[in-house]
Chain A
Amino acid sequence: MSDHTFLPAWREQSLGRRVFLRVSAASAASVALIAAGCSGTTTTPTPADPYQLALPAGDSGLLYYAYLLALAQITLYQKVVDAPPTDLTTAERAVFADLRDHEVVHQKTISYLIDTTGATQLVPTDFVFNLSKFTLSTRAGVLAAAQQVADLVAAAYPVLLTLFTTSSVPQRTILLKMSSVQARQAAAVRDLLTPGSFANSDVVDSAGQLLTKTPTEVMTALAPYFAPYVISVASLAVPV
């Protein structure tokens, strides 16, 4: 059922912008209220701000969340592959191609988990992860941007896994299989930027466990790059 409820939401849009990730009119309205209350910048009385994207509740919301993380990574890594800074070595360019490839596989996997038919458009056509705030013309800038994103995604997955409620072992397992790859990617990028900075104390606590981030923390960190779209994770379960 939930697969189908995504479709009418954006098809009804007549503004040329498709709103995705809305489970019901009720939740859309509540999102609009939250937006109005928080920002105070809503100037139109429309019940659904076209730039306000609310992740649905439950596992599907978590999958959308993971989808957006993959989208962010692919956008960044693809840009580096397409236009590498001159001082990025051949070996390092190969690493970025691998990172891009892994994330494309992850994104395809997640989108299949959300909708096996592939019919659902998961994001509005003009939705992008905006790279303009990164410095991608130098090796140092590229690696710093990659570390920022890779660390964030690695920190997101252990929390995401605990929020996932499906009893389906294959579904839980597939996300688990991706989570350690995210951590590998983060370590690889960290070691490229600063050799030996893998699993350093800024990402691992004094118990030897990865410092994690909640969906709210992750999406707050990524918010500047998703603007003008605003992603609401209010419907997702809150980590204990």
Chain B
Amino acid sequence: MKLISILDHLAAAPATAAPAPRRALLAQLGRAAVAALPLGAALPAAAAPADTSYDAVTQLLQLERTQVALYTQALAATGLIPAAQTADFQRLLAHQTQHAALFLKALQDAGAIVPALPRFDFSGKHGVATNPELFPNVLTNYDAFLALAQQLEDLSVRLYQTQSINISDSQLLRAALRIHAVEAQHSAHIRGLRKGRGAVVQNWPSEEDTAIVRPAAAQALTTAATGGEENGVQYVTPGVPIPFASLLLISTNTAIHDPALAEAFDEPVSSAAAQAALNLFV
């Protein structure tokens, strides 16, 4: 019963002074779950640098549910997705549905409480008609929809990267790493669709991409999707950056263009930044 280890960290997590995002809520949920697990209390203490496995799985579940809802609503919106691309989005929906099912089952198998399915609102109005519309026309204008889909897929790649470090169960980790790659293919495809429609965008986040303009109140999405992707510094050990300046200088390929350095690495996103973005749609 390997999936029980999802709760390893949670069972042993100390009440730190600086709790991870959503820790209070999750600890509350988790205690109920752990109570149902006879082995829970015997698990070793571990330094939890960020989220627990439980945090990771519930956040990934919310991410996948968000994408399932977006593609479901988009495919149901008459005239939004061109006929030639319907199959693409059916595939995207199928994959996200399969991913959501995996994490749902992981929580259920561990005896953990499963967060209720939120009611998603992609206008950014949080279901309140008088609230400002943060994402106009995303279910009526194809370009607006693609921009939102791209940002969620970019966020998805980055969040899997972040949370795979936090997933302690080896079986679930293998799945997360394989899903991470699939999300990257999704993102590359949607970026390609936008490129084909004239947007200045690469198949990978690039400083050459034209920024997707959002109102200030929706900036959390842009931050979570691509904020920090321009990072050109990578570390081998904490505080010791790889000396790209000298490494790439001696390259026999002298024509490397500058943005390639940052493009060659997708950057993780903090779970707090990701959560702020996901909260825009519930």
Chain A interface residues (CB < 8 Å from chain B): 74, 78, 95, 97-98, 100-106, 108-109, 112-113, 116, 118, 154, 157-158, 161-162, 168-174, 176-188, 190-191, 196, 198-200, 203-204, 206-210, 212, 240
Contacts and interface: CB of A to CB of B under 8 A. Distances in A.
Interface stretch (B26-34, B94-102, B134-142, B210-218): B94-102
Contacts of B235: 170, 174
A150 B265 CA distance: 16
Interface stretch (B14-22, B52-60, B120-128, B170-178): B170-178
Contacts, number: 192
Interface centre among A78, A174, A176, A185 (most CB of B within 10 A): A176
A207 B185 contact: no
A162 B188 contact: no
A52 B142 CA distance: 55
A227 B165 CA distance: 37
Interface string B161-200: 1001100001001110111111111111100100000000
Interface residues of B, number: 61
Interface stretch (B70-78, B143-151, B246-254, B272-280): B246-254
B165 A210 contact: no
Contacts of A186: 185
B264 A106 contact: yes
B180 A102 contact: no
A181 B161 CA distance: 12
A118 B174 CA distance: 33
B238 interface: yes
Contacts of B234: 109, 170, 174, 177
A61 B263 CA distance: 26
Given A105-B264, A106-B264, A181-B184, A209 B179 contact: yes
A105 B244 contact: yes
Contacts of B85: 196
Contacts of A198: 88, 185-186, 188-189, 192
Nearest to B203: A188
A181 B263 CA distance: 8
Contact of B188 (A101, A170, A187, A209): A187
A208 B85 CA distance: 19
A170 B182 contact: no
